[in-house]
Structure 1
Amino acid sequence: MLPLSTIAPEFYLKDTNSSNSFSFKDIKGEKGTLVMFICNHCPFVLHVLEEIVMIANDYTVQGIGMVAISSNDPVKYPQDGPDRMTEFAFKNDIDFPYLFDETQEVAKAYDAACTPDFYLFDSQNRLVYRGQLDDSRPGNNIPVSGSDLRNAIDGILYNRTIPEPQKPSMGCNIKWR
């Protein structure tokens, strides 16, 4: 896992929602920034997607920048290609940038392992949280709450200690080339 206090790795990727390209600096929030690795087909992502969108709606207005990145190989997984990402974002009300990591270099720089995977940076671009959304998984009957990630974001916003230990995300492995 990417060590806490790591400065956010820079990127410059094409947004499948707008056809613009964005860097970390472009999406950085005044109070912090959430970088999420997701994809279109993973059942773990689909299980929590509504909560991810609610978190974006709740926290972007409070100064948290948001971005989602898909790094999956679109040759082996065409449902995760850029054209399908645009459809997926529209269908699921994803209003924040949904970037395509064609070379997979960004996923490697973040040590991303699965989808979904969450990286929260403070206003100084230092990693303060990397881990799961919450304890809910497809089929485990625990309701999706976003509690772990929400607590970490609240820690940034209200100058609170971010709880330890941070549980790693669980999901589908990134589909490497």
Structure 2
Amino acid sequence: MAASLKSPFPVTRLLPCSPKPLALPKPKLHVRAARTESGGVVIGSRAPYFELPEPLTGKVWKLDDFESYPALLVMFICNHCPFVKHLKKDIVKLTKFYMGKGLAAVAISSNSTITHPQDGPEFMAKEAKLFNYPFPYLFDESQEVARAFGAVCTPEFFLFKKDGRRPFELFYHGQFDDSRPSSNIPVTGRDLSRAIDCVLSGQKLNFMQKPRFSIPAIKDIRNPYWIKEEIVAAIRNL
């Protein structure tokens, strides 16, 4: 059995008429996170094929480009998400460490630039350069790749293993760690780093996977009703 790798991360309501103008409260849009169980790939299933551009370099990356690696980490992130911002520096730190141990990693943004212009290719390139991403940061404009994976939130982490010539199989799909933007729990990357340790050392996952705790931020651009849904949610929070 291969030796375990040592990680640097610790284990409308209508208003009545009034002769005086009413001061209406401003709508408050609350950012709500959720533990989500989406469709798409399940543990043991093959990695969906992708072929996406990297805004920073203009290069097109494919799943086949990572065939020689024993493990592949696919991360669905974006620029604006507070949960991604909370983890960003540690995501870079963790991936850089494990890429030096044989891990392949790639990040994908599937967010609609109609709803979030700041997640567009130009800003993705700036983000990747600013934070010195050690992995390619790809743009899934059609959102087809996100749907294939079943990714509906940011961040989402899909860790795949590869045995010889066999295709990549999903090994881990869970949280980064227990830290949240609203909590006092420090960011450690404990869950994801433990999973990577296991996959790189050829061991089975030795702990229970916790669902990612993140924001359902990847809006389906084919669905014209999501805007109505968000407005209704905002009104309910008045």
Structure 1 consecutive aligned stretches of length 4 or more whose deviation exceeds 2 Å: none
With normalisation by structure 2, the TM-score equals 0.72
* Cα distance in 2 for residues equivalent to 1:74 and 1:163: 39
Across the two proteins, how many residue pairs are aligned to each other?
Answer: 177
Which of the numbers 196, 199, 211 marks the counterpart of 1:168? 211
Counterpart for residue 201 of structure 2: 158
Shift of residue 28 of structure 1? 4.5
Shift of residue 29 of structure 1? 5.5
- Secondary structure of the equivalent of 2:48? coil
Distance change in 2, residues 1:134/1:29 (3 Å)? farther
Equivalent residues of 1:45, 1:115 under 8 A apart: yes
Equivalent residues of 1:29, 1:65 under 8 A apart: no
Q: Which residues of structure 2 form unaligned runs of 5+? A: 1-37, 222-238
* Cα distance in 1 for residues equivalent to 2:142 and 2:46: 21
- Secondary structure of the equivalent of 2:47? coil
With normalisation by structure 1, the TM-score equals 0.96
Decide which structure has the larger Cα Rg and report it: 2
Per-residue CA deviation, residues 20-59 of structure 1 (Å, 9 max, x unaligned), is 0001121345220000000000000000011110111101
CA RMSD of the aligned region, Å? 1.2
Equivalent residues of 1:11, 1:106 under 8 A apart: yes
Counterpart for residue 91 of structure 1: 130
Q: How does 1:118-137 map to 2 (within 5 A)?
A: 118-124=157-163, 125-137=168-180
- Secondary structure of the equivalent of 1:62? coil
* Cα distance in 2 for residues equivalent to 1:27 and 1:143: 32
* Cα distance in 2 for residues equivalent to 1:83 and 1:9: 26
Moved more, 19-28 or 141-150: 19-28
Equivalent residues of 1:119, 1:130 under 8 A apart: yes
Overall identity of the aligned pairs, in %: 45
Q: Which residues of structure 1 form unaligned runs of 5+? A: none
Counterpart for residue 58 of structure 2: 19
- Secondary structure of the equivalent of 1:85? helix
- Secondary structure of the equivalent of 2:79? coil
* Cα distance in 1 for residues equivalent to 2:91 and 2:66: 17
Quick one: which amino acid aligns to residue 178 of structure 2?
D
Quick one: which amino acid aligns to residue 219 of structure 2?
K
Counterpart for residue 139 of structure 1: 182
- Secondary structure of the equivalent of 1:22? strand
Moved more, 63-72 or 20-29: 20-29
Counterpart for residue 18 of structure 2: none
Quick one: which amino acid aligns to residue 99 of structure 1?
L
* Cα distance in 1 for residues equivalent to 2:219 and 2:206: 30
Per-residue CA deviation, residues 111-139 of structure 1 (Å, 9 max, x unaligned), is 01200000000024000000110010002
